[in-house]
Structure 1
């Protein structure tokens, strides 16, 4: 689907998408990005020479595919700004939780409305990106959108009411672990391992531990019982409580 694409919002997720597209040599007729921060736009244009800076949201929204890459509190006002530009052939793709397709449809004159909860691993084309479509969107248009975003990783349709769950359990999942892996690398160095050795050990063990947990046929309890010594076992309940309070608390804030 070689087309024009416009991003409103030039932050992290736009960079992730552009990197994923670049990795797979995806070409567009034009790529425009609007962001109120000129430094952000300059950085994107430097990293991705195909990007053209849009002076207004309306200019970016003249594209065939318009990606709304802003935080939930400003989605509706952004849609109001571009409402006069969007037509019935425009694809509007919102990456924000909380703001429903019904609310988006109240501001723009198209049934080609898509919501996506993107994953940062799209940066390396290993994303896990659920989509929800406007009920009136035709199968042909759905297929075009799936094809467009397929280079970013696994892209699939789900029910809209599940998207915020995906945001908590997939979209933000890496943040629950990345800092721990980094700290374990540091601890590994303190035990005498090189930084490279520590990184390889953690990477390999994590990969295989996930396989063991999900593919061994053992119950979670049986898997966890395979290692008798649990250095942070006494902190497990505290960690579980933190996960529940923080993640379910956030879910309450982002659900429609």
Structure 2
């Protein structure tokens, strides 16, 4: 089985890296296209996979085709292909809907997906957009590919705006939280690099604790909060400042913006 990438930027490279590290494919089973000869040779050397300047070659030789170009390039790239062959197509192009893909992929089965930035370090969260025209074996293959770089969830397309806010954009909010915690540590004498490491590890460990213990976050909050203790004071301070309301308002703003952009 050959997995091909049309476009081999950061997200495509993260997926390829995950597949290779998890030994789900061999290097000779991956290929990509990139117009730049210099960049192509660098990537071939880095990943030990096949590279070509021709999108058509990747399309013709792939069993699974991962479409990883910029959204504005979709129409040009897909309309320029001879689609005599019909590989299974997985799109990671942000904002390109099932309806838009269907216009170009009339004969090919496809799934729209939305991986997030953290896929680059194997801790991603990917939405697989429901498509009742896709066979179970292709859905299973898609899940296997994205589990190599994190976790997956299946969602109807109508819920993708919420997913984008919670997973696609929220890393920026979490980076802000980490940096703010670190700066608070600096206020009390910690060096910035050490404070950032401490805060980042606390966030990473907290997320893993939620996922691996399967406990409600507020139950875990209670476990950290001794009566009359330090943690309780911190939580009460955040509640006074409407911390929860601020987060919800931020999500609302992101959902509204994504909906506006989707309407064109």
- Mapping for residues 159-238 of structure 1, pairs under 5 Å: 159-182=156-179, 184-185=181-182, 188-189=185-186, 191-195=188-192, 197-206=194-203, 207-208=205-206, 211=210, 214-216=217-219, 227-230=235-238, 233=241
RMSD: 3.6
Q: Pick from 92, 99, 104 the counterpart of residue 101 of structure 2.
A: 104
Q: Pick from 90, 93, 100 the counterpart of residue 90 of structure 2.
A: 93
Task: Give the match for residue 80 of structure 1.
Answer: 79
1:14–1:69 CA contact under 8 A, matched in 2? yes
Q: CA deviation at 1:113?
A: 0.5
| Structure-2 separation of matches of 1:161 and 1:22 | 33
Q: CA deviation at 1:78?
A: 1.4
Task: Give the match for residue 121 of structure 1.
Answer: 118
Note the alpha carbon deviations across 1:175-229, whole angstroms, 9 max, x for none: 222244245435534642245642343135434498597241879xx99876344
Q: CA deviation at 1:77?
A: 1.9
2:15–2:145 CA contact under 8 A, matched in 1? no
- Give TM-score, length-normalised by structure 1: 0.78
Task: Give the match for residue 135 of structure 2.
Answer: 138
Q: Give the 3 Å change call, closer, same or farther, for CA 217–203 of structure 1 in structure 2.
A: closer
Task: Give the match for residue 21 of structure 1.
Answer: 19
**Structure 2: 5+ residue stretches without partners:** 226-230
SS at match of 2:105: coil
SS at match of 2:235: coil
- Give TM-score, length-normalised by structure 2: 0.76
SS at match of 1:177: helix
Is 92-101 or 23-32 further displaced after alignment? 23-32
SS at match of 1:116: strand
Is 30-39 or 202-211 further displaced after alignment? 202-211
| Structure-2 separation of matches of 1:25 and 1:42 | 23
| Structure-1 separation of matches of 2:114 and 2:38 | 26
Q: Give the 3 Å change call, closer, same or farther, for CA 195–43 of structure 1 in structure 2.
A: farther
* Residue 9 of structure 1 pairs with residue 12 of structure 2: no
